[in-house]
Structure 1
Amino acid sequence: MAICAHLSALETLIPAAEYACPECIALGDTWVHLRVCQTCGHVGCCDSSKNKHATKHFRSTQHPVVTSAEPGEQWAWCYADDQMAEY
């Protein structure tokens, strides 16, 4: 299977500006893992977290690709094409 155009277009990855989910902090909640939007740099919690802020960000913005902000994890996920790539 070929990698989707969104993942193929990634050249330089946007790192997490902070290691926290600002929306969870505002709610007084915690998160499991963090994801970084590769369009705007938004940091949001993963789908294993209670609030799923990374997915909510995609739904509200249509920014298609996130990467893991977790140390040692090197992958990207395209919401639009339901596809993953390791780098």
Structure 2
Amino acid sequence: MNLQFIRKVIDNHSQCRHMANMIHCLCNNINTAKVDIAASQGAERAKDVMRVCGTKFNCGQCRVSINARLEEWRAINPALEAAE
């Protein structure tokens, strides 16, 4: 195997820890941490995340990304959701 290829793969995997800071909504500066906080407060849809963050949709391109993160959050935290 090519050593440069191995280095590139290792470098790409080392970036995974930065995914927690992924920007989902550029217009309103909503990142994964903010989506997770909104989810922990009961947000079930992107519209709910906007309400929790005190913002409104601008271009709307973030809906799919926010909804996908909410699904991931529910899969990671099923006990929190069931407790409500």
Give TM class, smaller chain: under 0.3
Q: What is the TM-score with the length of structure 2 in the denominator?
A: 0.26
Which structure has more helix as a fraction of its residues? 2
Higher strand proportion (structure 1 or 2) = 1
